């Protein structure tokens, strides 16, 4: 039996602007909730337009006239390496804080979120002094060359499903390139972002290079997007929000980078190694309580192996351990909040109403915490809501198919194009899927 980890008891809850931890200008706070117990963890300063303006000013000053503007690229990289080292030295503390605020199993935070975040910062730390331009031969007696220069102040808006990893993914490339950042962490999970900002100060980042303003999308997030002194917005989250950001950023011609939602096909052919495919399908859907943008949420299984595959994947779903995320034996924690739990349960009811077969799960677990049973639907059709919309929860949808042409066409019958996966022993077939299925990443 695994040991039960101890949740942290102290947290950074203020806004970081320049070199100061401060209350919000309005004095408002909001509660961050433990999704496993529904208890308040802490009250966090609630930033809005006034706080964003101060943070952007600090970031602009640091970019244009502070030590960051004249720092050698290699020294920027060394700061990222130092931050990674400090995070590694505090891995257990940060993993516990992530589990407390987000609800993910402590085993996942330790084995995935923290190591991947640390590795990301080290990777981009190594790139800082390798950002190069080019010399270009042109007609005439001229010397022509390009330089890659930092865009300026980057506004960064991150979601709640991988809070510390999302922060690393945003900070790493921006800081390596010499930008300064203003980050708005999601209101459900602000604590780890604030903590690693403390570690960034300890590492030696100059004031104003990293600013963190917790708050809500319609106030803090929208103000960041609209601010005239922000040069770029990097956003990870739901596609409807992406549309709003694109409209609001148009007024100031900001550069935009989006990573939005998905309804990714996971395709299992009859010639696949079924042991690997079953394990991969379970992980690809249920990992992180199903709260992954690139989850394999449309599981296409070839007719001839469908029955065997379904039986085996249901047995694996039955083995999942739902419970206290601080227990090392737990494999599935709560959903992030009540709204997310209710949204998922609503999709489950729609699946039943529209004729899909619910083979296992489908209900809330207990009456405290936002826990949902691992759920598997079979005989799902393309037109059902559970096959069309991003559920973002532990709900597996299995669809039958007959041949390659059919599954390619059906895989592309979606507004999303984030990811896809294929299981087959035929390399030619695998590469055809990778070429013809419209997805940014294909496994």
* CB-count exposure of residue 364 (10 Å: 0-12, 13-18, 19+): middle
At a CB cut-off of 8 Å and minimum separation 6, what does 106 contact? 5, 95, 96, 99, 325, 326, 327, 328, 330
Q: Cα 47 vs. chain centroid, distance in angstroms?
A: 22
Q: Beta partners for 332?
A: 322
Catalytic residue among 92, 259, 358, 436: 259
Answer yes or no: are the C-beta atoms of 180 and 62 closer than 8 Å.
Answer: yes
CA–CA gap between residue 210 and residue 242 (Å, rounded):
23
293: annotated active-site residue: yes
What strand order describes the sheet that includes 357-360?
Answer: 357-360, 375-378, 395-401, 298-302, 265-268, 419-423, 441-442
Angstrom CA distances, 161 to 192, 218, 236, 245, stand at 12, 19, 10, 20
Residue 431 neighbours by CB distance under 10 Å:
12
Comparing CA positions, the residue from 158, 159, 154 lying closest to residue 175 is 154
193: annotated active-site residue: no
Answer yes or no: are the C-beta atoms of 215 and 183 closer than 8 Å.
Answer: no
Task: Give the single-character DSSP code of 307.
Answer: H
Answer yes or no: are the C-beta atoms of 32 and 189 closer than 8 Å.
Answer: yes
Return the axis-axis angle of helices 163-177 and 91-102, rounded to nearest 10°: 120
Answer yes or no: are the C-beta atoms of 376 and 313 closer than 8 Å.
Answer: yes
Catalytic residue among 120, 154, 193, 293: 293
- Residues labelled catalytic: 259, 293
């Amino acid at each position: 039996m695994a040991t039960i980890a101890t949740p942290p008891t102290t947290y950074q809850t203020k806004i970081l602007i320049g070199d100061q931890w401060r209350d919000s200008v309005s004095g408002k706070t909001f509660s961050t909730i433990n999704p496993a117990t529904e208890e308040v963890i802490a009250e966090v300063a609630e930033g809005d337009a006034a706080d964003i303006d101060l943070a952007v000013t600090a970031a602009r000053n640091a970019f244009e006239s502070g030590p960051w503007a004249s720092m050698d690229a290699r020294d920027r990289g060394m700061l990222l390496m130092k931050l990674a080292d400090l995070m590694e030295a505090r891995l257990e503390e940060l993993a516990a804080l992530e589990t407390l605020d987000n609800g993910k199993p402590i085993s996942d935070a330790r084995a995935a979120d923290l190591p991947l975040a640390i590795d990301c910062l080290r990777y981009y730390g190594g790139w800082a002094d390798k950002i190069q331009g080019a010399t270009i031969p042109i007609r005439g007696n001229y010397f022509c060359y390009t330089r890659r220069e930092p865009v300026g102040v980057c506004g960064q808006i991150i979601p709640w499903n991988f809070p510390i990893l999302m922060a690393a993914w945003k900070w790493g490339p921006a800081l390596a390139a010499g930008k300064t950042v203003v980050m708005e962490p999601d209101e459900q999970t602000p604590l780890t972002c604030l903590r690693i900002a403390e570690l960034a100060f300890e590492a030696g980042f100059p004031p104003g290079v990293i600013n963190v303003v917790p708050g809500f999308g319609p106030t803090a997030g929208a103000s960041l997007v609209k601010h005239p002194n922000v040069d770029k917005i990097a956003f990870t989250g739901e596609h409807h929000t992406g549309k709003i950001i694109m409209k609001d950023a148009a007024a100031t011609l900001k550069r935009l980078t989006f990573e939005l939602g998905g309804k990714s096909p996971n395709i299992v052919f009859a010639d696949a190694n079924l042991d690997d495919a079953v394990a991969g399908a379970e992980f690809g859907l249920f990992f992180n309580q199903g709260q992954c943008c690139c989850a394999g949420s449309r599981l296409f299984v070839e007719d001839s192996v469908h029955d065997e595959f379904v039986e085996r994947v249901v047995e694996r779903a039955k083995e999942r351990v739902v419970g206290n995320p601080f227990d090392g034996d737990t494999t599935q924690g709560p959903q992030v909040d009540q709204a997310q739990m209710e949204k998922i349960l609503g999709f489950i009811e729609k699946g039943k109403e529209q004729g899909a077969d619910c083979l296992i799960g489908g209900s809330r677990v207990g009456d405290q915490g936002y826990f949902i049973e691992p759920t598997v639907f079979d005989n799902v059709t393309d037109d059902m809501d559970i096959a069309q919309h991003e559920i973002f929860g532990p709900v597996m949808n299995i669809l039958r198919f007959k041949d390659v042409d059919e599954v390619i066409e059906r895989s592309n019958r979606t507004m999303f194009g984030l990811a896809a996966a294929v299981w087959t022993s035929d390399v030619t077939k695998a590469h055809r899927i990778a070429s013809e299925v419209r997805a940014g990443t294909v496994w």
